Structure 1
Amino acid sequence: MTSSETSASAFSSSDTAALERQAEVEQPVTLEQIWNENHRRSCVDWIRKSGYKRVCLQFPDDYLPHSNAISVGLKELLAPEDVKVFILADTTYGSCCVDEIAAAHVDADSVIHFGNACRSRATRLPVLYLYPELPLDVNVLLDKLLSLRVESKDRQLCVYLDIGYQYLYGEQLKKQLLEALEPKELLLELFPPIEADSKTTKETTSLERICIFIGADNQRFANLSLTAPAAVQWHIYDGSCGSLSSKNPLTAQFIRRRYFHIEKCKDAQTLGLIVATLSAEGYLDVVTRLQTMAKGRGIKTQLISVGRINPAKLANFLEIDCFVLIGCPFNNMYDSKEYYKPIVSVFEAEMALNPAWHMRYPEAYVTDFKQLLPEGRSFLPFDAADIPENDVSLVSGRLRGAVNDSLQTAGDPASLALATQAKMALMTTDTGLSFEDRTWQGLDPALGQTEPAKLQQGLSGIPINYSHQ
């Protein structure tokens, strides 16, 4: 393969990319696990109580084999009423988000969301969330957790139930856990929480707590373990195989990598704000806040909406130095090694652009951008006057300057004029002009340089039986 072919393949998708795309598959589920009597009763009661007439069923990729059976079954249960049911077989961004955009194409008045859900508050349509009911032997669970009895005794114990096991939530399970582990205090939680406006994790007074996640080592566990306050250790009980393991997500390597991306965000001259949700409440407020903070530092911003992101899409924006992903809590890019430019979350961009976060170590990671807005518990006000006039990059070693009114009191007029002119030149440059010198050349026909090919009779007929074979 030539160098030009290698370069081309990096910026374009192959013919079979759509067929080979890896689906969002978790633990395989059966029809009974996602559509049993409890699910059917919840759906019918919810639709009849509110009088919905055009209902969309949203499925993740691994539920699609059962989508038709569920749709037909729901229509039969609602046969007396004039209710139309639609299947959303693809999503604009991620399957965990309610796709109100796709539902609007059929003028839907409600959505029933199956499987993994971030539970970001939808702003346009009412939503009913239905989780699978995966089998779990509680006796095996308690036997496995006995190994943590000494560690949990006289400490605070937090047990989180993943979406497949939330049907077990209740006083019976709580009583069994108390008898088996004898903790000082037991918190039995659902993740994601049932209530859309609930806090991701409840406030706790003890950092010496033991955390157990009953579910698989998936994106939901990563989100929970990063956002929860510091714990002695995280333990995962995988109900599908009955195994108990330990994991510490906040490793030193992870923290170093994220702080490196934060420094790259500070060094950027142009930030790309990727809108990866059009339904989560507050995303426009976050966009405005990021634009304001970037402007205070003399950084240009570009607003981008490209659906599900991939390296090929973002490689088209060569003038952007760093991307900020504005998505739901489960749609943050923690590892972006395959991309050509760094991608940071809203929280990491906040730490880079807001001087209030300077020299402040967060107690926990923030994946829900609403918590960074004025009503959120992680909100810190932004004041452009607090931006340091001279700041040294820890990556390049170069001096970074701020563009705000405080510069008028520093330095002599000549140096001030020169610094302001340089910054203003960057701020007022039309980004579109950067495309003027770009050229593209297709296949080289090499006319007159190759010998003509011999004329031969082509194939005729249909592929299954050509006429001359």
Structure 2
Amino acid sequence: METSSASAFSSSDTAALERQTEAEQSVTLEQIWNENHRRTSTDWIRKNGFKRVCLQFPDDYLPHSNAISVALTELLALEQVKVFILADTTYGSCCVDEIAAAHVDADSLIHFGNACRSKASRLPVLYLYPELVLDVGLLLSKLQSLRAECKDRQLCVYLDIGYQHILNEQLKKHLKEALEPKDFVLELFPPIEADSIASKESTSLERICIFVGADNQRFANLSLTAPAAVQWHIYDGASSNLSSKNPLTAQFIRRRYFHIEKCKDAQTLGLIVATLSAEGYLDVVTRLQTMAKGRGIKTQLISVGRINPAKLANFLEIDCFVLIGCPFNNMYDSKEYYKPIVSVFEAEMALNPAWHMRYPEAYVTDFKQLLPEGRSFLPFDAADIPEHDVSLVSGRLRGTVNECLETAGDPASLALATQAKMSLMTTDTGLSFEDRTWQGLDPALGQTEPAQLQQGLSGIPINYTHQ
């Protein structure tokens, strides 16, 4: 019982190998480490004179990590470059783990696989993507069924990572001839350049969008953040299947808006910092604390690495969590968690009165867009918070209940309300250490006899010299 309970709060020796949450289509060594990858990485290291290089791999690349490390070390033998493998990450494999790299005093990092491309502030980073096989002729044949739908409309085709090597003018020409759109956009996702078309608002809502890749987290991120389109289509390069999908389904919207209402009802918000590399995360923390304070909501700042239900269950006093993460790691389906988890954008909609009765055209997954320089920024003014705010979940008044009772001139009612509020804040919230039922190990200083000194183990764990 003790072993299974403890394992929920720390990773086992094989956790990184057994974890399946981030694994996608299996890749071969040739797809992630071919001649192009070898030439790009060695040229980058030699040009900049790096000597301590970290290789960061996602979970599904780990079987090939040792072979890549050995090969890179041999290629750079004359330069005497030291290579390290980051087999597990602090938050998500899409984020550059500068914290783990700092433990070995690395001067550079090569990131493999899925990448959110959040700006790294401490280390220079080289991104290497897989090169997956795609039958372009079969792709064009499958897309012929969309010709009537695309004609005289704006067409946007996004290539998932793994297909960046087929992006060229010839492919663009073939797609335009096959589908005959009025306007055409072809680019990678996630975009390599910060000012790419995918990061801008579209001038047309009559768009047909095609994602060449799997139905994965990157597609969810892109389809939710893009302005409203006529339809989304997914072409899976591995199975050659073409399917349609509406990311903003009714069930999804109902669930997310329910979480927004729960965020409004919260008395204490837990701000989970799930990134230390994304630019602007401290500004977002400050903004959330300011908005919560304006509504009389307490906040607690939390950093627990990769979150799981057992970790967050320790914070009994928190009514709702806000996950501050990179664009690919900030929207959690919190069905397994005891309290709802909302994104920064959903917390913004809950706390900022400027979003009242305003329906967004699309979700915002990049929290930098909610800051003053972002395109989705709306200024916060505590004076605009409605005096009478009714919860759509509980049906009760929020925020200014006691003020309303005071203006009504009923001292008895005011005393009763104040007593109830104080009772709620001092009994079951767990805000103070002494209120918790478990306070850790009791040292019992001076109450036990000292133990007799004994010789301990010596040597290395695989072969102790003293048993």
Structures share a fold, TM > 0.5? Answer: yes
- Pairwise CA RMSD: 2.9
Residues of 1 paired with 2:195 and 2:104: CA distance?
28
Q: Which residue of 2 aligns with 1:462?
A: none
- For structure 1, the residue ranges without an aligned partner over 5 or more in a row are 443-469
Q: Displacement, 1:371?
A: 0.5
SS of residue matched to 2:407: coil
How many residues end up aligned between the 2 structures? 433
Q: Which residue of 2 aligns with 1:189?
A: 187
Distance 1:9 1:71, change over 3 A: closer
Q: Relative to structure 2, which stretch is displaced further, 432-441 or 189-198?
A: 432-441
Q: Which residue of 2 aligns with 1:314?
A: 312
Q: Which residue of 2 aligns with 1:299?
A: 297
Amino acid at match of 1:226: L
Alignment of 1:386-465 (within 5 A): 386-402=384-400, 411=407, 434-440=432-438
The partner residue of 1:239 within 237, 240, 260 is 237
Q: Which residue of 2 aligns with 1:89?
A: 87
**TM-score scaled to structure 1, two decimals?**
0.86
The partner residue of 1:153 within 125, 134, 151 is 151
Alignment of 1:337-376 (within 5 A): 337-376=335-374
Residues of 1 paired with 2:423 and 2:55: CA distance?
48
Deviations 1:435-459 (A, max 9, x none): 42433599xxxxxxxxxxxxxxxxx
- For structure 2, the residue ranges without an aligned partner over 5 or more in a row are 441-467
Q: Displacement, 1:429?
A: 7.1
Residues of 1 paired with 2:60 and 2:94: CA distance?
13
Distance 1:417 1:396, change over 3 A: closer
Q: Which residue of 1 aligns with 2:20?
A: 22
Distance 1:104 1:59, change over 3 A: same
Deviations 1:357-398 (A, max 9, x none): 000010110000000011110000101111111100000000
Q: Which residue of 1 aligns with 2:98?
A: 100
SS of residue matched to 2:50: coil
Contact residue 116 and residue 327 of structure 2 kept, 8 A: yes
| 1:61 and 2:36 correspond | no
Amino acid at match of 1:186: F
The sequence identity of aligned pairs, in percent, is 83
Q: Which residue of 2 aligns with 1:446?
A: none
| 1:128 and 2:126 correspond | yes
Q: Relative to structure 2, which stretch is displaced further, 109-118 or 428-437?
A: 428-437
Deviations 1:167-204 (A, max 9, x none): 11111110010111111111001100012565643332
Amino acid at match of 2:280: G
Q: Displacement, 1:250?
A: 0.3
SS of residue matched to 2:336: coil
Q: Displacement, 1:38?
A: 1.1
Q: Which residue of 2 aligns with 1:222?
A: 220
Q: Relative to structure 2, which stretch is displaced further, 249-258 or 432-441?
A: 432-441
Residues of 2 paired with 1:79 and 1:10: CA distance?
43
SS of residue matched to 2:334: coil
Q: Which residue of 1 aligns with 2:452?
A: none
The partner residue of 2:247 within 246, 249, 265 is 249
Contact residue 317 and residue 430 of structure 2 kept, 8 A: no
Distance 1:199 1:58, change over 3 A: farther
Q: Displacement, 1:110?
A: 1.0
Distance 1:383 1:395, change over 3 A: same
Contact residue 283 and residue 326 of structure 1 kept, 8 A: yes
The partner residue of 1:378 within 376, 379, 384 is 376
The partner residue of 2:324 within 319, 323, 326 is 326
Contact residue 316 and residue 430 of structure 2 kept, 8 A: no
Residues of 2 paired with 1:380 and 1:365: CA distance?
14
**TM-score scaled to structure 2, two decimals?**
0.86
Contact residue 319 and residue 339 of structure 2 kept, 8 A: yes
Contact residue 298 and residue 427 of structure 1 kept, 8 A: no
SS of residue matched to 2:74: helix
Q: Relative to structure 2, which stretch is displaced further, 255-264 or 410-419?
A: 410-419
The partner residue of 1:209 within 186, 195, 207 is 207
Q: Relative to structure 2, which stretch is displaced further, 155-164 or 36-45?
A: 36-45
Q: Which residue of 2 aligns with 1:280?
A: 278
